[in-house]
Amino acid sequence: MRANLQGRKREAFTLIELITVITIIALLFSLVVGGFTYADRYSKRSKTEITIKAVRSGLENYKEEFGSYPMPNSPDSIVEIANKAYIVGGAACLYQALSGDGFDQIQGAQGRGTSNSDGNIDDYEAKNVMLKDLPRELWAKSGDYYFIIDGFGHPIRYIKAAPTQAAIPGQAAPARTTINQGTYDIWSYSEDEENLTASSLEAIEGSVQQASRKWIKNW
């Protein structure tokens, strides 16, 4: 009887062995989850970089066609996604400027198809498409807004600079001429979940310089 009891004791795990096994399992689990998280983040950032490159190409087509980059009509418009507020005006402007679907989000644009976006490119709008075959994965809809999104599913930020003007030599004031049509800033906040309304100027000169290192941007 005593021998049988001793045999049973040898078959049981000690507390140290159990802790060791649980620790190894937890370590392996964390490595798997960590690897998945890294791969997911890398995929989203890569998609965002490709999206921004595609948008920039489309913007050059737009400027060549219409003489300047599009200006958002309501740059400070807000949408709520997963209980967080995002500025959507620039992304909505980009969607219309590149897809040709509507024009009410583009300042000064008139007569280029129907006013509001509806998610479809009709035959009479096809001539306004600046980014051919815009993939469905690159845009989303929230409320009344259609907008370009990054790889994280959030609106791309887009700000157009105001045109620079100068006095015309030899002519009396206020005769002025536009010397350029303005450039633009375009970016994604990527993993930054704290500064979702910060501007590009704040990223360059302001309080979010450190956080903006996570951003994917064109400057």
What is the rounded average pLDDT of the residues 24-38? 69
Cβ of 156: how many Cβ atoms within 10 Å?
25
pLDDT band (50, 70, 90) for residue 178: very low
pLDDT on residue 24: 77
Share of the chain above pLDDT 70, in %: 69
pLDDT on residue 16: 65
Name the least confident of 68-82, 159-173, 179-193, 194-208: 159-173
Q: What is the DSSP string of 122-190?
A: -GGGGGG-SSTT--GGGEEEETTEEEEB-TTSSBPEEEEPPPEEEEPTTS-TT-EEEEE---EEEEE-T
Query: Strand, helix or coil at 69?
Result: coil
What is the rounded average pLDDT of the residues 74-95? 94
Chain center to CA of 200: 13
pLDDT greater than 70 at residue 173: no
| C-alpha–C-alpha distance, residues 170 and 64, integer Å | 30
pLDDT greater than 70 at residue 66: yes
CA atoms within 13 A on the CB side of 57: 10
pLDDT band (50, 70, 90) for residue 10: low
Q: How far is CA 179 from CA 19, 66, 141, 184, in A?
A: 72, 16, 36, 16
Cα angle value 188/190/192 (rounded, 5°) = 110
Give the residue with greater pLDDT, 154 vs 19.
Answer: 154
What is the rounded average pLDDT of the residues 159-167? 73
Residues 160/71, Cβ–Cβ less than 8 Å: yes
pLDDT band (50, 70, 90) for residue 175: low
pLDDT on residue 180: 52
| DSSP category for residue 112 | S
Give the residue with greater pLDDT, 195 vs 129.
Answer: 195
- Phi and psi at 14, nearest 5°, equal -80, 165
* Residues whose CB falls within 8 Å of the CB of residue 200, separated by 6 or more in sequence, listed in order: 157, 159, 185, 187, 217, 219
- 164 residue type, one letter: T
pLDDT greater than 70 at residue 82: yes
| C-alpha–C-alpha distance, residues 121 and 181, integer Å | 28
